[in-house]
Every structure is written in structure tokens, then in C-alpha cells.
Amino acid sequence: MPGTVLLLAASPVGKGCLVDAASVLPVLAAVAPSVLSGTETANVVELADPLEPQAVLTRLRAAATSPGPLTMFVTGQLQLDRRQRLPHLALARTTPATVRYTAFPWHWVTEELRLRPPGLTSVFVDLHTDADTWTHLAGRPLAVGPATALYGRVAPPPPRRTVAQPTYMRAVATILRSGHRPPLLQLHQQALTRTSGEDAAARPGAADLLFAPGQGGPGAPASAAAPAAVVAETGAPPFPPGPGQSWAGQPWPPAPAFTTVTSPPPLPQAPPPAPFASPAPQAPPPAPSAPLTPHGPPLGAPSRGGPSTSPGSQPAVPPRPMAVAIPGQATPRESSPSSDPHGEITAAVRAGRHGEAVGLAGRREEEALHAYGPGSEQVLHWMEVRADLAMFAGDPERSCRIWLAVAVARLDAGQAADAPEVESAVDRAHHQWGRVGDPARARELGAELARLRLRVPGRREGALDHVQEQLRQLQTQA
């Protein structure tokens, strides 16, 4: 099976640049694709100093949905946005004041990769930080998803008026240029050995944050996660409107979730939210197996829409299915106490048994409702799973309703309107609304979405205006 390689190097232009990230790309590009990926053949995508977060998201989503092994090499600098203090990969136009809008949120990487099959994804990073971000990361290491192996380092701030060099990534590329690809942990260790002297001279007394699966450091989460997955929809090229679905105007580009949904204490981690597209109805999303006929409203789903907002960027692709691992959970009757219900759900979806998948998720939601009560993270998690399943089965109306319900439940529980989980839910509802083909249903859901957008405008300007404009078009056609 062919592999996929994503080479990403980015850093701001001007005095805000901390590392000469793009200088490593010629060395990486000189490595044979088969060596970069560890497969006989591979597709290599190179992004050098991209300007727009959505351009990065588009390429990342395309890579994340490839069926074969995926290897990413990411070089650049991390900065925190001032509002939510979340790490972002700085792009060419990024300044300290515009991080939230011009940089690429690191949690988007986590969202796009977290549902990939275990053992098929590796990420090498050589990242530099400013003082504020360095302090932040010391207590909150980077993550790339439960089924992804993370290797590399995050370096502390370089000396004043100095632009650092991506020595770790250059060492990785140099080793691979020999034509031999050692085991990835060995490759990581060899690269660290090669750069230790050079980095010590450039930054005396400063130690990097190192990542490697199974070594107990910041990379440990990647190896500690249990392998399992649940299907969710993520980026794909925009679908053209289908017959009878021309009611919407210009589509609202889909956007990724802002951050991983907080996992409930004793229960699994919530699956990533699906990006949203404009309210322009489109053909049903592709399914990995036979298409599913729509089912009735999922168990516990409200009669009306569910949340979804778009992040502060403008993706160019609609969402696709992803998978999430949830360790330590047993499904009643259908599985042994040690099995992961998400694995069963994934298998059911792949086999085209969408009704069975919805039933499994619905039973889990009922159990969580009895054990933890309405509005708990456990219940919200399974609502999100059902929303993803509906989207994957080609039922955007039901998916939209559930996402709207999730957003309202989170707001009612006291979560802030700009909380990542709330914004992500509204983004997904917005995207799914754009795929509803029935104008009457679209009007109904659109009215609810507009009311919710008043409370949760999202990171991207114009979301509410977009909903209102599409509603005007729908009313005219009515």
C-alpha cells in the first residue's frame, strides 16, 4: 500500500522569526519518497512557509484520510494565542497579536490524526518557542492523537536576535539521505546524538523537551493510548450541490474542531468534532462501506439541531470520518468487559451496518445517562459519537440536530461560548446544515443555527451573516 509523506516547514517573516524552518526542506526533499515513508511507493506533499491556516488544513486532511502509512515532518515555531492560550504553529504572516487568526492551531493536528488506525501514523517535529510558550509547554506537552507516534523535540527560545537552526530535523534528513530508514525510535535517537553538541553550544544550559513513544517523556501519550477507533467525518474536497439542492448560495467553508473534546473522567475521550461546510446542500458524504439509509432520530437526540461553529480559519474541504480510541470500556452484551465499544462501532460502519453502530452508541449513551446524569461529559461524548455516525451514514439533518443539541447542552452546563468544545460543536452543526437537501428542513435548522450563532459566533468572521444570508435565500425560494 502506498504511503503518504507531509513535509511542513513554517515560520513568520521578519523579526518574529525564531527558526529558519524552510532551510531543512531541500534536505528532506532530497530523500527518496520510499525512504521517507518506509513503503515501496509514496506520495510526498511539501508545504514551505504557507500563508493561510486553511491551506495547511486542506493538505493535512487529505493526508490524514489516506489509507496507508502516514509520516509527517513538521519544522517551525510554536506560539500561544492571547485569548485561549493554545499552542499554534506560526505561519508566514503570524505576529504575536494575530496568532489566533493567522497561525495553525496545533490541536487541529490532534483532531485530524486522532482517529487514524493505530500503528500507521508517525510525526517528527523540530519546533522552537518563545519564552511564554516554552513555560506553557513545560506543564502541557504536545499531543498528536492516541494512535500516533510522536518523535522529536521542542526547543527553548534562542538567544536574543538569533534565528535558530532546525538541527534535529536536518539530522533526521541527513540520516535518511543515506537511503536506509532505521526503526523510527532508533532514527530519533541517532538524530539527537548528532545534534547534542551543536545545540549545547548554541543554547548552553537549556534542555529540549523530547518526544518518543514509550519513554515516559512528553511523547509517552502517543504510545500509551489504547488502539481503537470510531468513525467520524473529516475533510474532503467540497461536494457539488446535488439535484434539487441548489437553494444555498456561496458555501461556508468547513472548519476543523478547535481542540480535542475533554474526555470524561472515568469514561472515554470524546471524539473529535467534524468541521462544517456552508449551508449549501451537497451530496451525501462518502462512506467507507455501503451507504446507509437514514434512521430515525438517535436515542437521546433532541428534535432539533446540534451545535457547530467554524474555527478562525477557512478550510477548503469538508469533513471526513475519523476514529477515536476509548480504553477501558466494555459494551453490554455485545462485547466482553475488556473490549472497546468504539472498535465494534468502527467495524459495524465499515461493514455498512450503520443501524447497528447507532444502536451500540445509543446504548452506551443510555448507560452514561443513568450513571452520570444529563449534561455529563460521558453523555455528551456518546451524543458526539452518534452525530459523527449520522454524518458518516449520509444523514446530515440528524447529525446537525445532534451537534446543535450538544452545543446547547454545553452552554447550559455553564461552558463559555468561546470554549473549544462549544465552538467545535457549532462549527459541525453549521457544516452539516449546509448539506441538508430539503429546503423546509434547512429553514427549520437554519433558524435554530442562527439563534445559536448569536451566542457562539465562532472564531471566523461572518458565520452569523452567512447563516442569515442563506436563510433569506431559502425564504425567497419558499
pTM for the complete prediction? 0.50
C-alpha dist (Å) from residue 379 to 90, 250, 263, 269, 288: 36, 35, 11, 11, 26
Percent of the chain with pLDDT over 70: 71
Flag the least confident range among 70-74, 98-102, 116-120, 237-241.
Answer: 237-241
Q: What are phi and psi of 124, to 5 degrees?
A: -105, 130
Q: Which three cell numbers stand for residue 76?
A: 517551525
The H or E element spanning position 79 is strand 70-80
Amino acid type, 46: E
Over residues 333-371, the pLDDT tens digits come to 333 333 567 778 877 887 888 889 899 999 999 998 998
Please check whether residue 239 is in contact with residue 282, taking contact to mean a CB–CB distance below 8 angstroms.
yes
Residue 264 has pLDDT above 50, yes or no: no
C-alpha cell at 203: 543554547
Query: Measured between alpha carbons, how far is 189 from 211 in angstroms, rounded to an integer?
Result: 10
How far, in Å, CA of 449 to CA of 9, rounded?
37
- The number of C-alpha atoms within 13 Å of 448 and in the hemisphere containing its C-beta is 25
Higher-pLDDT residue of 476 and 31 is 31
Average confidence (pLDDT) over 97-101: 90
- Residue with grid cell 492516541, as numbered in its chain: 146
